[in-house]
Amino acid sequence: MRTDELVAMLSANVEPVERGLVGRAIAIAVSAGAVIALGLMFVGLGVRADITTTRAVIFLLLKVAFALVVVGVAVRYLTRLARPGAQQGISPFTIVLPFAVIALLGAINLGNTPSAHWNSMILGDEWLECLLSIPIIAIVPFAVTIFAVRRAAPTNLVRAGAVAGLIAGGLSAMAYAVHCTTDSLPFVAVWYGATIVLCTLAGAALGPRLLRW
Amino acid sequence: MTTAETELKALMVASLGGDAASYRLLLDRLSGRLRAYFKGKLARFGRGATEAEDLVQEVLLAIHLKRHTYDTGEPLTPWVHTIARYKLIDYLRRTRTAANVPLNEESEVLAHDDNAGAESSHDIRKLLGQLPEKVRCSIECVKLEGRSVAEAAQRCGISESGVKINIHRGLRSLAAFISRETKIENG
C-alpha cells in the first residue's frame, strides 16, 4: 500500500471530533467505579452499626476525605498520562502527598499516646478484613477505569496502569470506610495506605498487558 | 515555537473541526517527517526503507484513531513525537530487537522526507477483504470512493450512524492487522 493512498483514505470525509473526550471518559468511569464500590460494600459488608454516633461520623468523614483526595489527585494525573506528550496537569509527586499527610497525622497521634496502646491502635480488630476487602472491591472499578484509558492513548503503560490501580484502590477504600469501625489514625495510615499501594502495584504489573495499543 | 509547529498545529485544529483538505495536508506533511524520523532510527538497527514505511503507516493510522486525545491547548509536536516513539519501541519489541531509543529528540520528528509514493509491505485490498461485509462496504464507499455517509448507508443497507461506527471499527481492525502482519513477517 502506498502512503499517499492511506492518507487519501484517512482524510476522505473526515468527521469532526468532540473536544474533551478523554477527560470526560475517565470522569464517567471513575464515577461509575465509585457507585459500584459503594454498591458492593452495601451488599457484601453493610454500613457500620454505630453510624448515628458523632465519633463514628467524624472518623467516617475523615477516612472518606482521605480516599477522595487520593482519587482526585490520581484522576488528574491519569488524564495527563492518557494523552501522548501532555505537559499540562499535575506532577506525579503530588500523588504521594495525601499518603504523607495521613502518615504524619498517624505518627502524631501515636506520639501523644502511651506505647501500651500502640498495638491496638495500629492493628485494630479488623486489619485482615481491611486488607482483603479493599483489593477485592477494587477489581471492578479497576476494570472500568482501564476500559476508559484504553480508549485514549497512554504511552507509559506501567505508570498509567499503576495510577488506574491507585484510583481503584482509593474508590474501594472510600466505600470500605462506610463499613469499617476501627477509628484510629494509625490504622487508617497503615492499612488503608498499604492496601491502596497494593492496588497500585497490581495496576503497574497489569498495565503493559491491558493498555497496549 | 517553530514555524513548522505553528503551521501543523493550525492544520490539526482545522482537521479536528472536520476540514478534510487540512487533514489531508497535515497527514501528508507528517508522513514526510515521520518517514525521515523512522529511516534514521531504523538505520541504526540495520533495518530497511520498507520497514520505515510500515511504521509511517502504522503511526498515521494511530494518529487518526487517537486524534481525540490531542488537546488543542498543547503543542502538536510532542503529541506526534510521543506516538511515533511509542510505536517505534512497540515495533522493535515486536520484531525482537532491543529497544534503545533516546528521549528528547522532538526536533527530529520534524525532519523531512517527501517520498509520498513510498510503499509499505501491506496490501490494503487484501486487508479489507478480511473485514466483515458491512464494515468493508462502509470503508469502501466513504473512505475509498469518497461518497457521503448518507449514500454509503443506502448502498450498504445500514443506518448512517452504523456507517460511522463501522468505519471506525474497520480502521481499528486495519491497524490491528498491520501490527500483527509485521509481527508474523519479521518475528
A56: cell is 463514628
Q: Which residues pair with B119 in a beta bridge?
A: A2
What is the average per-residue pLDDT within A126-132?
Answer: 87
The string of pLDDT tens digits covering residues A134-165 is: 999 999 999 999 999 999 999 999 999 999 99
In a domain, A99, yes or no: yes
**Domain count along chain A:** 1
Q: What string of pLDDT tens digits covers the 187 residues of chain B?
A: 578 899 999 999 999 999 999 999 999 999 999 999 999 988 887 777 788 888 999 999 999 999 999 999 999 999 999 999 999 999 888 876 544 555 555 656 666 666 666 777 777 778 888 888 889 888 888 888 888 888 889 889 999 889 988 898 888 888 888 777 665 444 3
Interface contact flag, B68 A4, Cβ < 8 Å: no
Alpha helices in chain A (DSSP H): 3-11, 21-44, 54-81, 97-111, 118-123, 127-150, 157-177, 185-187, 193-211
Instruction: Please tell me the distance in Å from A80's CA to the nearest CA on chain B.
Output: 10
A111: cell is 506520639
Looking at beta carbons, which residues of chain B come within 8 Å of A88?
Answer: 71, 73-74
Looking at beta carbons, which residues of chain B come within 8 Å of A149?
Answer: none
What is the pTM for the complete model shown?
0.86
Write out residues 51-90 of A within 8 Å (CB-CB) of B: 82-88
In a domain, A1, yes or no: no
The string of pLDDT tens digits covering residues A28-65 is: 999 999 999 999 999 999 888 888 888 889 999 999 99
- Nearest by CB to residue B53, choosing from A3, A9, A11, is A3
Looking at beta carbons, which residues of chain B come within 8 Å of A17?
Answer: 16, 18, 67-68
Residue type, B176: A
Q: Which residues pair with A2 in a beta bridge?
A: B119
Fold of B1-99: Rna Polymerase Sigma Factor; Chain: A (1.10.1740)
In a domain, A8, yes or no: no
> Nearest-CA neighbor of A31 among A72, A61, A79?
A72
Residues 6+ positions from A171 with CB-CB distance below 8 Å: A30, A33, A34, A37, A67, A71, A138, A141
- For A5, A107, B13, B123, B151, the CA distances from B145, given in Å and listed in that order, are 12, 69, 25, 17, 11
Interface contact flag, A3 B70, Cβ < 8 Å: no
Mean pLDDT, chain A, whole residue set: 92
Write out residues 107-146 of B within 8 Å (CB-CB) of A: 116-120, 122-124, 139, 142-144, 146
- Nearest by CB to residue B124, choosing from A1, A11, A88, is A1
Instruction: Please tell me the distance in Å from B13's CA to the nearest CA on chain A.
Output: 10
Residues 6+ positions from A163 with CB-CB distance below 8 Å: A74, A77, A78, A81, A95, A200, A203
Q: Provide the pLDDT for residue B184.
A: 47
Q: At what angle do helices B3-16 and B20-43 cross, to 10 degrees?
A: 130
Asked if B1-99 and B122-187 have one fold, the answer is no
Supply the CATH classification number for the domain B122-187. Answer: 1.10.10.10
Instruction: Please tell me the distance in Å from B43's CA to the nearest CA on chain A.
Output: 20
The string of pLDDT tens digits covering residues A80-92 is: 999 998 877 778 8
What are the sequence ranges of the domains in chain B? 1-99, 122-187
Looking at beta carbons, which residues of chain A come within 8 Å of B75?
Answer: 87
Residue A108's domain comprises 22-211
| % of chain A beyond a pLDDT of 70 | 100
3-state helix vs strand vs coil in chain B, percent to 5? 70, 0, 25
- Nearest by CB to residue B69, choosing from A5, A7, A153, is A153
**ipTM surpassing 0.85:** yes
Partner A contacted by B28 (CB < 8 A): yes
In a domain, A102, yes or no: yes
| % of chain A beyond a pLDDT of 90 | 66
DSSP label of B110: G
Q: Check residue B176 and give left, alpha or beta (phi > 0: left; psi -120 to 50: alpha).
A: alpha
If you measure CA to CA, which chain B residue comes closest to A83? B69
Residue type, A35: V
